[in-house]
Each structure stands twice: as structure tokens, then as C-alpha cells.
Structure 1
Amino acid sequence: MSIMWGLTARGICEYNNKILLLKIRSHSVHDAGKWEIPGGKVKKCEFFDDALKREYLEETGLEIDVDSLYNVVRNDYTACKTNEEVKSIQLIMKVTCQSDEVTISKEHDKHGWFSRDEINEMIENDLLTPPAVNAFKK
């Protein structure tokens, strides 16, 4: 079985010194109930910044500007539909938004704006996805 490589773009959005995280729905196959940085897969022939803007809008209802590279992490997983091994490179970008009015998609149960200290506590309590933990352990 061949290994697939994927690209994911995620955005750390700070607003009023708080960072936006989304809680993955409780019946999800991967990382159910854990908090993650908004974003998602980059489609074939799509620029990663366009993918990040698309995913952010879908997941949060927020329009963002992509500012800078924050971190790069790798996340290996088994694809639910095909059972293929996937090695995902995740570009973690710093992004800005003009509002904290979030409307989440069906992919998530809730959202929250958290301080760095709260995020560190969430990491200690194993409440974040592995890519989010690695992204914040910069």
C-alpha cells in the first residue's frame, strides 16, 4: 500500500489577545471532542492561502487575511474512507479577522477564544489535537 501525502492549512487568529479554537464534534472519527486550530485540506491545484480563507469561512463564518507563517507540523493518520495511510504537512499561519462573531459549521460542536495560558492548560489536560499541540509548542 502506498503512502499518500496531503497538505493542510490552518490559521491562528488572535482577537483581543485571545486565540480562536474549534471543538471537533463528539462523533467524529478523528480526535472527537478535542480542540483544533481552524483550517483544512488544500485541494488539488489550489493555493494554500486560498484554501485557508475558504476553510476559515466554511468553519467559522469569518473572512480572514493571511499574515505570516507561524509553524509547520506533520500529522500522520489513516484516511476514514479509503483506509490509506496519510502523511499530512500542516502549514500553521498567523491570520487576522475583523470580528469575533463566529458561526461554526457542522464539523464542530463549539468554538472558543482562549488566552495563551488557557491553551497551555488545555495542552496539559490533553484537550487539543496533536497538530494543535505541536503548532503551539514552538
Structure 2
Amino acid sequence: MIDVAAAIIENHNGQLLIARRKSGKSQAGLWEFPGGKLEQGETIEACLRRELLEEMNINIEPYEAFGVHSHHYETAHIRLYAYKAKFVSGHIKLSDHDQYAWSTAEELDKYEFAPADLPFVNKLMSQLKQ
């Protein structure tokens, strides 16, 4: 099993950062909450800070666990840890993605998400109805 972290990053307008996997990557063309694989001995928060700086050139501050979900893809079994985070600084430059968007939680259902991210999309949308 591969441990992966995903950041649900909120900006000062309350919008969430999502990104589309670029061609040639697994799950190409599907949207996700950005993040990456945890390295040996790394905390989820440290992984998210590192990955977002490496892959998107931004600084974030993870502040709250949002959930864990295991998913079996054809080639891998992942355990995805989602954390809420605040956007701190930086100008987005993409490396593993070909597009990004700042979306409200209400608009998330307009995007086709990677299967492992769907439980978190559904949880965010269900919180709106409470």
C-alpha cells in the first residue's frame, strides 16, 4: 500500500484549489486535491508542504485532518490522507498537472475527480447541506 497525502487548500475567498493530472501521468485528465507520496518518516503536514512547494510553487499551512480513504487502482493500492490547509503564498506553476482551478465547494461536482478523491468531494458537498 502506498501512503499519499492530499491538501484541501482554501484561499482567502473560501475557494478550494483543485488540479487536473496531465497527460502521461496516472489518472491523466482527472481532477484531484493536490499532494503526493509520503516519504519514510515524514508527517502528513510536512509531506503536503514539500509537495505543494515542489509541484505548484506555493506555500500552504495544513491545519486539520479531513479524512482517510483507501482505494484500489489497477496498478496500485493507495491510502489517501486528506488535510485541510490554508494558502499562504506563492504563484502557481504546474509540473504534474496541466490545469488548476479555484472552486467553491458547491461547484466541485462540475469536475471529474480521480476515484480516490471522490469521498472527500462528497464529504465537502454534504457539509454544505448541514
Shared fold, TM over 0.5 = yes
2:47 and 2:106 map into 1 onto residues whose CA distance is 29
1:94 is the counterpart of 2:84:
yes
Deviations 1:92-132 (Å, cap 9, x if unpaired)?
A: 00001124731111x1111111111210232xxxx111122
Q: Aligned match of 1:35 in 16, 31, 34?
A: 31
Instruction: State TM-score, norm by structure 1.
Output: 0.80
Which residue does 1:10 correspond to in 2?
6
What SS class does the counterpart of residue 73 from structure 2 fall into?
Answer: strand
5+ residue gaps, structure 2, are: 124-130
Structure showing greater Rg: 1
TM-score (norm 2): 0.85
Measure the CA separation in 1 of the matches of 2:90 and 2:9.
10
Q: 2:115 is matched with which residue?
A: 130
Q: Which residue of 2 aligns with 1:70?
A: 66
3-state SS of 2:52 partner: helix
User: Quick one: which amino acid aligns to residue 114 of structure 2?
Assistant: T
Question: In percent, how many aligned pairs have the same letter?
Answer: 27
Moved over 6 A (4+): none
The amino acid across from 1:137 in the alignment is N
Secondary structure of the residue aligned to 2:92 is coil
* Cα separation, 1, equivalents of 2:105 and 2:42: 32
1:47-90 deviation digits (Å, cap 9, x = unpaired)? 222111111111211111110011211122244xxxxxx32111
Pick the structure with more helix per residue.
2
> Are 1:24 and 2:21 an aligned pair?
yes
Distance, in Å, in 1 between the alignment partners of 2:53 and 2:20 is 16
List gaps (5 residues or longer) in structure 1. Answer: 80-85
For residues 4 and 110 of structure 2, the distance between their equivalents in structure 1, rounded to whole angstroms, comes to 25
Q: Number of matched residues?
A: 122
The separation in 1 between residues aligned to 2:47 and 2:110, in whole angstroms, is 30
